[in-house]
Structure formats: C-alpha cells, structure tokens
Copies of this chain bind each other. A is one copy, B any other.
Amino acid sequence: MQKKFRSPCAIASTLDVLGDKWSLVLVRDMLIKGKKTFKEFSSSPEGIATGILASRLKLLESYGLITKRKLPDNKKENIYLLTEKGIDLAPVIMEITLWGDKYMRAYNEELSSYEALKKDKTVAINTVQKNYRQVVAQIIG
C-alpha cells in the first residue's frame, strides 16, 4: 500500500500521495461539504467510480488523513472523518480553490464562485476547520 517516494522534496512527496484527480476532491467533500459515508462520496457530481473510491479511502486511511468507524446505532454505514492531518489540508484546498476561481472560469464557465474565501482567506480557512472539528466532536463525542 505504502508507496515509494521519488525524491527528498516535500512537494514531490506530497504529490506521491495526493497527486491525482480524486484524493483532494474527497478531502473537499469531507471538509467543505461535510460528507462522511461511502454513499455520500459516490453521489458527488464528479462521479467517482466505486472501485477508485474504495482504493482512495484506503490510501487516505493508510496515511492517517482519515479514520473509518461505525456508529453504535448503525452497523451498516461506515463513517469516514478527517484527522487533524487531513484538516490541515484546508489551506491547500483553499489556495487551489482561489487559483481555480481566478483562472479556470475561462475554460469552465459553470464554475461557482467563492466570495467569502476571497474576502478573507485566513478567516475562511479557520472557519472551515473549526466547523469541521465541531462536526467531528458531535459524532465521536
């Protein structure tokens, strides 16, 4: 499961793990959209195949970015939650969002906009992280 790293570079090593089209979309689903279950991730507009989803969740779990658990009153659903390591990707997600908002609209006219984020980046990042931690606290107590 664990991969080899191409070099001693922090960027390259991070991309060795997260450098694909899906991993950060899943982090976005959790952090921004509050998604928690396989079903919810499956239903994202991007349309991830279930096989890829299962393998990405495993990868993220193996690197400690997410945890997988069941709630006492539901033996069927698995709940996937970001760890602090995962929550700490918020600045990366936000900078990608800002860059995309600024430059990708020329290619994808449908892009939605992110006014709050553009107004105050630091506040927006802190808010998203704080909100997510509250969601986690409510679920695992």
Q: Which residues of A contact B (CB under 8 A)?
A: 2, 5-17, 19-22, 24-25, 28, 44-47, 63, 85, 88-89, 91-93, 95-104, 107-108, 110-112, 114
Contacts and interface: CB of A to CB of B under 8 A. Distances in A.
Contacts of A89: 99
Nearest to A19: B21
Given A6-B46, A15-B21, 10 more contacts: A9-B28, A10-B100, A11-B28, A11-B96, A17-B104, A17-B107, A19-B21, A88-B103, A91-B95, A95-B95
Nearest to A25: B12
Given A95-B92, A95-B95, A107 B12 contact: no
A95 B95 CA distance: 8
Contact of A103 (B85, B93, B104): B85
A33 to B, nearest CB: 10
A47 to B, nearest CB: 7
Contacts of A13: 100, 104, 107-108, 111
